[in-house]
Amino acid sequence: MAISTAQFLDFFGVAVFAVAGALTAIQKRFDIFGVIVVALITALGGGTLRDVSLDAHPVIWIANTSYLITGIGAAVVTFLVARWIDIPQRTLAVCDAIGLAFFAVAGMQKAVALGHSGEIALLMGVMTGVAGGILRDVLCNDVPLIFHREIYATAVIAGGVVFLILRSWGWLAQWYALAAMLVILVLRLSAIFLGLSLPQWMFSRSKGSRL
Amino acid sequence: MAISTAQFLDFFGVAVFAVAGALTAIQKRFDIFGVIVVALITALGGGTLRDVSLDAHPVIWIANTSYLITGIGAAVVTFLVARWIDIPQRTLAVCDAIGLAFFAVAGMQKAVALGHSGEIALLMGVMTGVAGGILRDVLCNDVPLIFHREIYATAVIAGGVVFLILRSWGWLAQWYALAAMLVILVLRLSAIFLGLSLPQWMFSRSKGSRL
Amino acid sequence: MAISTAQFLDFFGVAVFAVAGALTAIQKRFDIFGVIVVALITALGGGTLRDVSLDAHPVIWIANTSYLITGIGAAVVTFLVARWIDIPQRTLAVCDAIGLAFFAVAGMQKAVALGHSGEIALLMGVMTGVAGGILRDVLCNDVPLIFHREIYATAVIAGGVVFLILRSWGWLAQWYALAAMLVILVLRLSAIFLGLSLPQWMFSRSKGSRL
């Protein structure tokens, strides 16, 4: 049974996002059920919101239950393994960047395939990539991580703009998709290894400077 | 006007879940509107997520507004009565177990009736039973209760597996539904009265044991 | 290019709600992306939940991307301007009241136009008006503001009841819509300027009085 590169990346993305969700839930000391729920919502929440918004039924994990099984499997393995092994933050962040790049581009391709405009496709790319992480943090009662100071959604937006420009130039689907993924990946890796971040409103400082 | 046992259990489930939601909101000192919103979301949130995920429109409370009226009524009565009477935790937990058993099985039956696979039916049973409580806790800015140490979703999963096995053996719908409800109920009551819980990841302890 | 009063109010409502969302996110020190997401969810979250619940696809911001652009524009301007100018709370509250009145009535009109009952229309009015604010507070990890002591949803419900009564009397659509908006507006402004609020459950006090 051969699976395509796209399918491999798809399941890889689900697994990596599920691991990230499971680790957050484990740190919160959730039980095995809580860990699985948080992992599944992290991995599949973005795609679900996208499909429901676009009225693109059946939603991904109903159309193909392998996504659920991949996510549950990743969560259970993480739950068992986390006792013995510390997963290095950087390794996880790099895997997450690959998952993000693929999810975002897959989200855009789905919107475009359904005949939506470039703006909606871009929004769906961002939603597919980041909504799962936001839902994870809401469920864990944290302020969503990606609202703070790191280039994450911005990388998706930049990749999405490249996607739309190359597409308007008549590039073939596999090439503009690949280019967009590379842009997202390079920006995310730069943020991880060089510590880049977005401007943030320096509230206290500006208050201070007025005095 | 006679209503069937199934209908009675349905409204009973909505009322009990609404009372549980209302009590949480009252403890947070919400006003009457906040109490009603939290009660409705606790009682109908799981079914709504199920129907939207399955694209099974109209969603339950649009198809039959009696659900809304039951939920609002239960919330208002709870709001008024909570001043004078302490509702015993155990009484509420037992009623909640009955509601859970019925909601979960009703969720599975709906998915099966729509032609979905056993996996999706099981997921829908869990979603119908537990998502309302998760949304309640998110709205009240708490970490979802059911992610911590108590057999709750597990009871639903066990009942769901029984549902699927007996169904595959060719049992009649009313019997496998009843058997699944009993399994959920017995497991929940055991958890309530015997204090059973799921394994949880002892993070700090394992860190300590390595030193 | 002339736009109608209804359209103007629609975009005004989106802009005002987006500003309110952006200010909350700025106070939480989110980055520009976080500010835009919170602003969009505050402005469009209620309408999205309404459309998804009613299965009224395409949802508003897919049918007309001007809503997205208005919301993003308002968020970016707020982000830039908030450094130099303090937006007075009262000014914002008055604008928010206008937005609320329009959103709620627009939500009811949509439900009625789709053939739903008065109860569902009322619920959709409340949902369109208040769900965005609830989602904003959940994302910012706060207890939803409107669950505490201020006449907000109550104003929407009162306006909605007026809407339904005048409609049943055979008034023309523009008149009962206008009357409902005025009721909401007057009640909200009374709450803002006179400090009215709903009864709240005085838990600790009642506990004390029993001793």
For residue range C180-205, what is the model confidence (pLDDT) as tens digits? 999 999 999 988 888 766 665 444 44
Predicted confidence at residue C204, as pLDDT, reads 40
The tokens for A169 are 């130039």
**Which residue in chain A has the smallest CA separation from C33?**
A147
Q: Which residues of B touch A (CB under 8 A)?
A: 52-55, 116-117, 119-120, 123, 134, 138, 141-144, 146-150, 152-154, 197-201, 203, 206
Predicted confidence at residue C177, as pLDDT, reads 92
Q: Which carries the bigger pLDDT value, residue C16 or residue C205?
A: C16
Q: Please indicate, yes or no, if residue A98 is contained in any of the structural domains.
A: yes
Q: Which residues of B touch C (CB under 8 A)?
A: 25-35, 37-38, 48, 52, 55, 57-59, 62, 65, 68, 79, 82-83, 138-141
Instruction: Categorize the per-residue pLDDT at A85 as very low, low, confident or very high, splitting at 50, 70 and 90.
Output: confident
Q: Please indicate, yes or no, if residue C132 is contained in any of the structural domains.
A: yes
Q: Shortest CB distance from C139 goes to which of A119, A144, A206? A: A144
The span from the CA of C38 to the CA of C19, in Å, is 10
Cβ atoms B153, B112 nearer than 8 A: no
CA distance C88 to chain A (A): 16
C141–B140 C-beta distance less than 8 A: no
Cβ atoms C106, C128 nearer than 8 A: yes
SS (H, E, C) chain A: CCCCHHHHHHHHHHHHHHHHHHHHHHHCCCEHHHHHHHHHHHHHHHHHHHHHHCCCCCCHHHHCCHHHHHHHHHHHHHHHHCCCCCCCHHHHHHHHHHHHHHHHHHHHHHHHHCCCCHHHHHHHHHHHHHHHHHHHHHHCCCCCHHHCCCCCHHHHHHHHHHHHHHHHCCCCHHHHHHHHHHHHHHHHHHHHHHCCCCCECCHHHHHHHHC
How many domains does chain B contain in total?
1
Predicted confidence at residue A199, as pLDDT, reads 60
Q: Is the pLDDT of residue B205 over 70?
A: no
Predicted confidence at residue C36, as pLDDT, reads 93
Q: Which residue range is the domain that position C84 belongs to?
A: 5-198
Q: Is the pLDDT of residue C160 over 70?
A: yes
Residues A174-191 have a mean pLDDT of 92
**Which residue in chain A has the smallest CA separation from B119?**
A65
**Which residue in chain B has the smallest CA separation from C149?**
B31
Q: Please indicate, yes or no, if residue A206 is contained in any of the structural domains.
A: no
Q: Please indicate, yes or no, if residue A207 is contained in any of the structural domains.
A: no
Cβ atoms A37, A16 nearer than 8 A: no
Chain C residues whose CB is inside 8 A of the B79 CB are 201
Cβ atoms B101, B159 nearer than 8 A: yes
Residues A100-123 have a mean pLDDT of 92
For residue range B116-156, what is the model confidence (pLDDT) as tens digits? 999 999 999 999 999 998 999 999 988 888 887 568 888 99
Instruction: Categorize the per-residue pLDDT at A206 as very low, low, confident or very high, splitting at 50, 70 and 90.
Output: very low
Q: Is the pLDDT of residue C133 over 60?
A: yes
- Interface size, chain A vs chain B, as Cβ–Cβ contacts under 8 Å: 70
State ipTM.
0.86
- Which contacts (CB < 8 Å, 24+ apart) does range A60-66 have? A62/B53, A62/B54, A62/B116, A62/B120, A65/B117, A65/B119, A65/B120, A66/A11
Predicted confidence at residue A12, as pLDDT, reads 87
Q: Is the pLDDT of residue C48 over 70?
A: yes
Task: Round to the nearest angstrom and report the end-to-end CA distance of chain B.
Answer: 70
- Vertex C17: Cα angle to C161 and C103 (nearest 5): 25
For residue range A19-54, what is the model confidence (pLDDT) as tens digits? 989 988 988 888 889 999 999 999 999 999 999 999
Give the least confident one: A145-159, B21-35, B56-70. A145-159
Residues B15-36 have a mean pLDDT of 90
Q: Please indicate, yes or no, if residue C204 is contained in any of the structural domains.
A: no
Q: Is the pLDDT of residue A211 over 80?
A: no
Predicted confidence at residue B89, as pLDDT, reads 77
Q: Is the pLDDT of residue B202 over 50?
A: no
The tokens for A85 are 């092994």
B29–C201 C-beta distance less than 8 A: yes
- Which contacts (CB < 8 Å, 24+ apart) does range C55-63 have? C55/A55, C55/B55, C55/B57, C55/B58, C56/C110, C56/C114, C57/A55, C58/A55, C59/A53, C62/A53, C62/A54, C62/A116, C62/A120
Chain C residues whose CB is inside 8 A of the B49 CB are none
Q: Select the residue from A29, A33, A86, A137 to test the B interface by mutation, using most B Cβ atoms within 10 A.
A: A33
Give the least confident one: A186-200, B51-65, C50-64. A186-200
Q: Please indicate, yes or no, if residue B44 is contained in any of the structural domains.
A: yes
Q: Please indicate, yes or no, if residue C82 is contained in any of the structural domains.
A: yes
Chain B residues whose CB is inside 8 A of the C154 CB are 33
Q: Please indicate, yes or no, if residue B208 is contained in any of the structural domains.
A: no
Q: Select the residue from A29, A65, A70, A87 to test the B interface by mutation, using most B Cβ atoms within 10 A.
A: A29
For residue range A185-194, what is the model confidence (pLDDT) as tens digits? 999 998 888 8
Chain C residues whose CB is inside 8 A of the A152 CB are 33
Residues B48-62 have a mean pLDDT of 93
Give the least confident one: A183-197, B29-43, C13-27. A183-197
Q: How much is the CA Rg of chain C, to the nearest whole Å?
A: 18
B33–C146 C-beta distance less than 8 A: yes
Predicted confidence at residue C117, as pLDDT, reads 92
Instruction: Categorize the per-residue pLDDT at A70 as very low, low, confident or very high, splitting at 50, 70 and 90.
Output: very high
